[in-house]
Amino acid sequence: MHRRKLIREGFKGFGGLIRQAVQETKQARRDEAKPLNGPADLFRPPGALPEHDFLNACTKCNDCMDACPHGVIYKHFDTYSTANLTPVLSPSCMPCEMCEDTPCVTACDEGALILEENEKPKIGIARIYIDHCLTWTGEAECTSCEELCPLPEKAIAADSQGRMRVKANLCDGCGHCTSHCPIGPDAIEIVALSNERTQPTD
C-alpha cells in the first residue's frame, strides 16, 4: 500500500508540472498576441507636438538624435508600444541643455518638433518630494537644486522657511536640479506634464 501511495503522489506531482507548463505556454501566447499600447509619461525632445500628433508625424528618422550636440536624445525601445523607436529623453538622468538654437527642432523636417517664434520649450516639470528633500525634513540646509537651475530667474527657490519650492510657470523640466541633488530622484524628480503627483509649487 505504501508503494502504491508513493506512485499516486508521484503522478499527482507530475500532473501539476504539466498543468503549470501548459498555463505558462498559454500566457506566453497571450503576450505574443498582446496589442500595441500607447506610451505613458514619455519625455519628448523640445517642441514636440501633443503625443498623438507627434506619433503621427514622427518617422523615426533619428535626425533629432543626430543633431543633439549633447547626446541626450535616444530611441525608446518597447515592442508593445506605439512609441517604439521614437525619440525620447530622460532628463532626470541626462539633463537637456535646452539649446538656444534648438538644433533638434531645426533637424526635424517632418514637423513633429515645432517651436513658434519666442516660444520656450518645456519637456516636463520638477517635483519636490517633501518626505525626502533635506530642506523639508530639516536634516540639513541644501541649495543644490537652486544653484544648478540654469534659468536666469531660478525655477526653484527657497521659501521664507528655507524649504525649496518649484515655480511651475518657469520650470522647463531640463533635469539639472535632480541630477545634482545629493538625495537624487527620491527628493526631486522631473516628471511628465501628465503626471498627477503634486508637490509644493509656487
- Tens of pLDDT along 28-39? 444 444 334 444
CB contact set of 81 (below 8 Å; sequence gap of 6+): 36, 37, 38, 39
From 3.40.50, 1.25.40, 2.60.40, 3.30.70, which CATH number describes the 33-121 domain? 3.30.70
Has residue 195 got a pLDDT over 50?
A: no
| Fold match flag (33-121 vs 125-191) | yes
Per-residue DSSP letter, 4? H
Has residue 198 got a pLDDT over 50?
A: no
pLDDT level of residue 190 (50, 70, 90 thresholds): very high
Burial code (b: 16+ CB inside 10 Å, e: under 16) for 47-62 equals bbbebeebbeebebee
Q: Could you tell me the residue ranges of all domains in the chain?
A: 33-121, 125-191
Distance between CA atoms of residues 144 and 180, nearest Å: 7
Percent of the chain with pLDDT over 90: 59
pLDDT level of residue 6 (50, 70, 90 thresholds): very low
Pairing of strands 125-128, 87-88: unpaired
CATH architecture of 125-191: 2-Layer Sandwich (3.30)
- Tens of pLDDT along 10-24? 545 555 555 665 565
Has residue 115 got a pLDDT over 80?
A: yes
